[in-house]
Amino acid sequence: MRVSFAAISFASLVLAGCASVPREPAAALAKAGQTTTAATQQSLEGVAKEVGGITERQLVRAAIVQCEATLAQTPPPPVTQACIPPVWSPAAEQADLANQKLAAVIVLRTKAIGQLNAAYAAFQAEAEYGARTDLEGAISELSGTVNTLSGAVTALTGGAATPLLALAPIVQRLAGETADAAQRRRLMQASAALRQIDGRLVSAMTAESAVFENISATLLENRSRTADVLLASGFTSPLPTVSDFLARNDLGGLGDVKAADRRAVVAARTLTAYRARRGIVTANAVYEANIKALGELIQQHERFEKDEGVSLDSLTFTLGELTAWAELLSSLDQAETEGAAP
């Protein structure tokens, strides 16, 4: 994932507010919001798939192990009796339900971030003199999604329910209000609404990241053990993983090694386990950087609403950190898809 920072390349400048219509700082804040939400949305795309696949991987691993153990008996029973799908236990069903709740939160959070990006685009259009856009509609739709997300987070964590987010309507123009006064009011109202929504998303992502961190050990064991079984049983060839390792480390091409060679299998298992661990650590770092970036965006909203302008230096630095972690996570996901182990 690559995020362009051209939109906030002026981050070293402090854009001062004005007593009339703070169009320039509003536009700067809007662009920063769009850049931040774009980075956030793209940085954790693969996490829902990773969490949602826990039970599936566990069942396949159990089925293979059970089948091989039964066939190893003397004399072996008929395959139709030995190789049957494992029966779900109540504990497994409860664990799967918890995993699906987390996956649902991730999907809703991704949707909310996408709508937040659109709301910041509407905010930017409002900041431009004479522009007209459905700013209130964008924020209203977003607040509904955020309320749904808050409910999903409550179901996931079992914590206290979060009060519904109720935002005042952004009226186009009040009676007796000048055009400049109306635009200033709309910008300030929109900033306050976006700030509150950002705050809800920080809370939701903090809860999401805490749950993800709590199941990190389970995720790591789940992926590593599944890979072990698939490699050891011959379902997956270890050669692509080992070949990629050799190429990346300038160790030459793959020699005359067969897929069933135990040395190739153990090398691939080692690389796969290492990759899984790196993926978990990197995902946790991406969560932390996302939460930090949204928190700094909230601070800029507060400055804007106090007519103190916006200063984007710190946010730009954080987005650079987020991009670095996100690109690493993306490379790990891509390598997994291609059967390689970075």
Name, in order, each residue with C-beta under 8 angstroms of 313's C-beta and a sequence gap of 6 or more.
11, 12
Checking if the pLDDT of 13 tops 70, the result is no
Range with the lowest mean pLDDT among 15-29, 92-106, 172-186?
Answer: 15-29
Structure tokens belonging to residue 141: 């739709």
pLDDT at 336: 64
Mean pLDDT of the 8-13 span: 38
Q: What is the pLDDT of residues 238-258, one digit of tens each?
A: 999 999 889 988 998 888 889
Per DSSP, helices labelled H in 7-82 are: 23-43, 47-52, 54-71, 79-82
Q: What is the pLDDT of residues 303-341, one digit of tens each?
A: 999 999 899 899 999 999 988 988 888 877 766 665 554
Q: What is the pLDDT of residues 197-230, one digit of tens each?
A: 999 999 999 999 999 999 888 888 988 999 999 9
Place of tokens 């270890």: 238
Question: Where is pLDDT greater, at 259 or 339?
Answer: 259
Mean pLDDT of the 57-80 span: 83
Determine contact, residues 211/300, Cβ cutoff 8 Å.
no
pLDDT above 90 covers a percentage of the chain that reads: 41
